[in-house]
């Protein structure tokens, strides 16, 4: 186990010890937690399986959405897939998204404009073109981002509980872009000094920083 994984595991153990024999006691009003991955990923990658297992262990319904052709994402197809899984967002639904999944989810929420949702956590989020990443492996990142239409005011209104988890040395999404999004959404910021892009290769098969906001969302 490398040092970073050791630190993450230790943090999880410490948080669990501080919050009880398990993780939290969820309110009976919780409907579902949605996990939205990003470019080149699946629900089986990075920290997504770890988080899904924690939630399911607490008898919380989880939908880790599998977005098709993640190495060559199609904006309309991803939106259709989100619609198939989420439908009309409900007031107790909680949404967690990573990287390209964040702008995809925010467009979806902006389009459907639910009155309220249960909470929103954005990991390495962004809301506009990434100056250092216009394309990746032939995928036109700029064109995908240009297809998104975000209504920041509507998102703020539907959830006063928004968190942004931002790595100070993110090599894919400039931390300043994530901070810009956090500013627009008035979200609380959880800053991680050396998180990279929160990928498995960065040492993140767990993401303990996500547990405190989830605990806040889920407990009565």
The one catalytic residue among 107, 124, 159, 170: 170
Percent of all residues in the chain with a pLDDT value above 90, rounded to a whole number? 82
pLDDT at 170 over 60: yes
Whether 197 sits among the annotated catalytic residues: the reply is yes
Which residue out of 37, 98, 107, 197 is catalytically annotated? Answer: 197
Residue 18 has pLDDT above 70, yes or no: no
Instruction: With a cut of 80, say whether residue 1 has pLDDT above it.
Output: no
Q: Is 146 a catalytic residue?
A: no
Residue 22 has pLDDT above 70, yes or no: no
174 is catalytic: no
Question: Per CATH, is 32-218 categorized as 3.90.1150.10?
Answer: no
Residue 206 has pLDDT above 80, yes or no: yes
159-173: buried (b, 16+ CB within 10 Å) or exposed (e) per residue?
bebbbbbbbeebebb
Q: Is residue 196 pLDDT above 50, yes or no?
A: yes
CA–CA dist 190, 147 (Å, integer): 28
Portion of the chain with pLDDT greater than 70, in percent: 86
Residue of 103, 151, 105, 147 whose CA lies nearest to 127: 103
Catalytic residue among 46, 98, 99, 107: 99
Could you count the other beta carbons within 10 Å of the beta carbon of residue 22?
Answer: 10
Supply the pTM of this predicted model. 0.88
């Amino acid at each position: 186990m490398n040092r970073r994984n050791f630190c993450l595991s230790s943090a999880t153990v410490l948080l669990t010890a501080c919050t009880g024999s398990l993780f939290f006691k969820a309110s009976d009003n919780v409907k579902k937690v949605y996990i939205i991955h990003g470019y080149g990923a699946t629900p089986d990658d990075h920290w997504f399986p770890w988080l899904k297992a924690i939630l399911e262990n607490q008898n919380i319904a989880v939908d880790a959405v599998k977005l098709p052709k993640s190495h060559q994402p199609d904006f309309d197809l991803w939106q259709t897939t989100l619609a198939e899984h989420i439908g009309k967002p409900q007031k107790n639904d909680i949404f967690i998204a990573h990287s390209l999944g964040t702008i995809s989810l925010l467009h979806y929420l902006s389009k459907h404009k639910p009155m309220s949702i249960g909470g929103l956590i954005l990991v390495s989020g962004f809301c506009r073109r990434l100056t250092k990443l216009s394309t990746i492996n032939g995928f036109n990142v700029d064109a995908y981002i240009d297809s998104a239409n975000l209504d920041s005011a509507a998102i703020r209104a539907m959830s006063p509980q928004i968190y942004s988890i931002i790595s100070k040395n993110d090599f894919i999404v400039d931390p300043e872009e994530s901070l810009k999004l956090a500013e627009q959404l008035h979200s609380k910021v959880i800053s991680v000094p050396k998180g990279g892009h929160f990928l498995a290769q960065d040492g993140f098969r767990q993401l303990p920083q996500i547990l405190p906001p989830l605990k806040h969302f889920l407990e009565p």
